[in-house]
Structure 1
């Protein structure tokens, strides 16, 4: 029988974090059409579950990514350096919470560390926040990131649904209505109808969910919400690493006004 999101059992946030927190993980990213998403959901194992909080299953996210004046974070990704980092503030609009997140990569493995913050102005971090950021970067061999020089570089917003495949503990996120907005609020670009599907697993080998996506013709893409989005907004940046992906997306991208994009996200309901 073909399944939809409404057919899946709930999983709460505490249980999700116990069974599939995956703060250290391997990510694979896919770009799927609405028809492919429906086929994928219909083929999921029957015991798959969907994150549900207060009856909500699709959540509104807004993220602000930070970089140095020399664009060290972006260029590390663009040049395929083995050690890479991203720093962002993420707002969970449905809960009213804001988190400061540090993501570091060593090869294919991603480590995410985060702390809850309560600041009105972007980047106004406390000494304690900066200490934790420095510690997270140092553990992964990047102690020299100039935290005092960081400034907002890119904004993203989207709607996210999170699934768990209990057999393997794989976490799957489905992000739709993705909007990239320049940090100066001059330009906004929408991804269109495509959904960004990410699988997050503890092991290096592709899991059952990855094989399921492959079986319906959905293949991994080299994609980063931060780096690919910035390359789309600023085509003069080095972007060979995402050239194929951007070419695949080009006909689906839609220009929009930043103020309209922000208002749309604030007004979305699950």
Structure 2
């Protein structure tokens, strides 16, 4: 547990068997999956996690179990991707770079919604130095991917939001599901100071059509899925003039507050 992330989850994590990234990707790639997200106070989640006795493994690379992630989200000048999400349009999409800062590996990702609300994520390797811009090759990949799903490729894409956080990844063999726990999520608009959420964790489960073991354990402890999208909820919080009916409760009651001027 290094990289500056201190967590009350550490004792339990240290006791878990580990899994390598190669084995995780082989056994549970889950590029097409059902995602369920939860916002849980840190103390509450620590109690719930410590009482979770399922067989699970924690991703470990060179002795590290918490990894710094950086995501840069792209949108058009009219924020078409955001508005498609805000109004729940079926043909919405999300474009971002995802960078694993400890290893220097980066990807350009295109996320769409498939049948039965399944998230479909497609990606290509990307130069870490280009993570805040769309290259010619990146634009061609985006156009090809979205055209293949019947969507019209966007133009004039530019970075609109960056998120940085520490992530723990778990694998649950019995349900062939994965779960991630994100700590100290920080959102920032281009050129602005970040807004950091320190008192809650973002838990995301990724499974097939059936809920995973961690979902059921959270439900038994009174935790239900939350409406949160790091992209959309972050945009709605940092740009309060945007329509945010789908995330109003989350923005109002769970997100850190903008400093008053």
Normalised by the length of structure 1, the TM-score is 0.87
Q: Does structure 2 conserve the Cα–Cα contact (< 8 Å) formed by 1:191 and 1:254?
A: no
Check if 1:230 corresponds to 2:235.
yes
2:65 to 37, 53, 57: 57
Alpha-carbon shift at residue 227 of structure 1 (Å): 0.3
- Structure 1 match to 2:167: 160
1:30 to 32, 38, 46: 38
Moved over 6 A (4+): none
Count of residues paired in the alignment: 249
- Structure 2 match to 1:262: none
> Aligned partners of 1:119, 1:169: CA distance in 2, in Å?
31
1:188 to 186, 191, 194: 194
Alpha-carbon shift at residue 187 of structure 1 (Å): 4.1
Greater mean deviation of Cα atoms: 2-11 or 186-195: 2-11
- Structure 2 match to 1:100: 108
CA deviations over 1:122-171 (Å, ceiling 9, x no partner): 224133x33332232123221x122x410000010000000011101111
> Aligned partners of 2:226, 2:75: CA distance in 1, in Å?
24
Q: Does structure 2 conserve the Cα–Cα contact (< 8 Å) formed by 1:99 and 1:117?
A: yes
- Structure 2 match to 1:199: 205
> Aligned partners of 2:34, 2:189: CA distance in 1, in Å?
28
Q: Does structure 2 conserve the Cα–Cα contact (< 8 Å) formed by 1:4 and 1:38?
A: no
- Structure 2 match to 1:217: 222
Alpha-carbon shift at residue 254 of structure 1 (Å): 6.2
> Aligned partners of 2:119, 2:41: CA distance in 1, in Å?
26
- Structure 1 match to 2:244: 239
SS of the aligned residue for 1:237 comes to coil
Q: RMSD of the TM alignment (CA)?
A: 1.9
Greater mean deviation of Cα atoms: 133-142 or 218-227: 133-142
- Structure 1 match to 2:5: none
- Structure 1 match to 2:158: 151
Structure 1 stretches lacking a partner, 5+ long: 257-270
> Aligned partners of 1:54, 1:159: CA distance in 2, in Å?
16
Q: Does structure 2 conserve the Cα–Cα contact (< 8 Å) formed by 1:36 and 1:218?
A: no
SS of the aligned residue for 1:83 comes to coil
> Aligned partners of 2:237, 2:163: CA distance in 1, in Å?
13
Structure 1 residues 119, 6: CA separation in 2 closer, same or farther (over 3 Å shift)? closer
Equivalences for residues 100-139 of structure 1 within 5 A: 100-106=108-114, 108-118=117-127, 120-121=129-130, 122-127=132-137, 129-139=138-148
Alpha-carbon shift at residue 85 of structure 1 (Å): 0.6
Normalised by the length of structure 2, the TM-score is 0.89
1:169 to 158, 173, 176: 176
